Structure 1
Amino acid sequence: MKISIVLCWALAAWLPAAWAAGDPAASRQAFGDVARVLQSPRCLNCHTVTDFPRQGDDRHPHQQMIKRGPADMGHPSLMCLACHQTANSADGGVPGAPNWRLAPLSMGWEGLSAGQMCRRLVDKSRNGNRDVPALVAHMTTDPLVQWAWHPGGRRTLPPLSQNDFHDAVRRWADTGAYCPK
């Protein structure tokens, strides 16, 4: 019994050091799963590098010639919230979630590799000053991000389930938040 207690104490002392060291290979592999979602139309349509949002799986320019605007919420004459409410419309035609908006241009991901996207994601000068725990919270709890798995209409879901995505984000962070090379 005493040996078991000593072993448990030794293991408890070792585990935090092992976690702090990280696991680059496991972290990069987990980010590969994260990237599959972030590179899907559900994310890329708003994480665009254009002055307009995109729509649909083919990522065509938003109808009605919608533009980004000064606060990434459309121009004052036609703000995103004029059509996009806090929930999907009853027929699913107009998607909605709280705080509907484009991601800032600094977080545009079009044309980036998984590694480039990851480096942009962790760059606090681009990501709204978020550290890794704040990124995990954003990707696993923000209602606008979670909308991707409840898009209404006939929109294609991301390539991972919501729970699998959350698990991959947490695995990436817990193993050191390493980016693919």
Structure 2
Amino acid sequence: MNILTKLTMAAALFAAPAYAETVNGLRTADEFDSITDEAARSAALFEEMFVVIESPRCLNCHPVGDVPLQGDDMQLHQPPVVRGVGDFGAPGMRCSTCHGAENVAFTTGEGSIPGHSPWQLAPIEMGWVGLSAAEICDQIKDPERNGNRTLAELHEHNATDGLVGWGWEPGEGRTPAPGTQDIFGQLTQAWIDTGAACPAG
């Protein structure tokens, strides 16, 4: 083996990362490839999905009751609002009364009103606040508690839905969800591909 070949191989080894990149606090799916037991890898992938799920950007719109939360500190929504019919708010105080098609920056100071069309709460059977990773994993696999979605439809929801995607572009005054929607979608698909196992507990 000549010196040029040795140098080329050494450069390739140096350039190859030992682990996949962590993006904005979220590990990518290939970081879990070293877990040889498929069920353990699947559960670990869901634990990483849970890093996004437990973000205020997700939990605020997945309350276990009828009142949404807001802000990074997950306070009760102000002004006071309720879930209403179809998760879009009560008559006369629909979500769209204040939440338009896009984020709107305050004109009087720092912050913004979040926006996306549609703007709504997750159905009450999809409430997440206070639940463990294992409990939420069981829930989102259950069509009676996940909006009647198959696992493929769940992946599509996580990877492409605009309201889910808002969590990474939440407007001034809010911390985006960890990672990116693309990475969240990849984690979801890898979790499904490895058997959609749930963490213990």
Whole-angstrom distance in 2 between the partners of 1:162 and 1:113: 22
| Structure 1 equivalent of residue 59 of structure 2 | 44
| Structure 2 equivalent of residue 138 of structure 1 | 157
| Structure 2 equivalent of residue 26 of structure 1 | 41
Detail structure 1 runs of 4+ shifted over 2 Å in the superposition: 159-164
Instruction: Name the structure, 1 or 2, with higher relative contact order (CA <8 Å, separation 6+).
Output: 1
Tell me whether 1:98 sits opposite 2:108 in the alignment: no
Q: Given residue 161 of structure 1, which amino acid in structure 2 is its aligned partner?
A: T
CA RMSD of aligned residues (A): 1.4
The answer for unaligned runs of 5 or more in structure 2 is 1-36
Whole-angstrom distance in 2 between the partners of 1:144 and 1:61: 20
Per-residue deviation, 1:163:
3.0
Per-residue deviation, 1:28:
0.7
Show the 5 A alignment for 1:7-26.
23-26=38-41
Tell me whether 1:84 sits opposite 2:99 in the alignment: yes
Whole-angstrom distance in 2 between the partners of 1:90 and 1:112: 32
Per-residue deviation, 1:90:
4.5
Show the 5 A alignment for 1:113-132.
113-132=132-151
Per-residue deviation, 1:39:
0.7
The answer for unaligned runs of 5 or more in structure 1 is 1-21
Whole-angstrom distance in 2 between the partners of 1:143 and 1:164: 15
Match of 2:84 among 63, 69, 87: 69
Q: Given residue 78 of structure 1, which amino acid in structure 2 is its aligned partner?
A: M
Match of 1:110 among 129, 133, 155: 129
TM-score in terms of structure 2 length:
0.76
Whole-angstrom distance in 2 between the partners of 1:140 and 1:98: 17
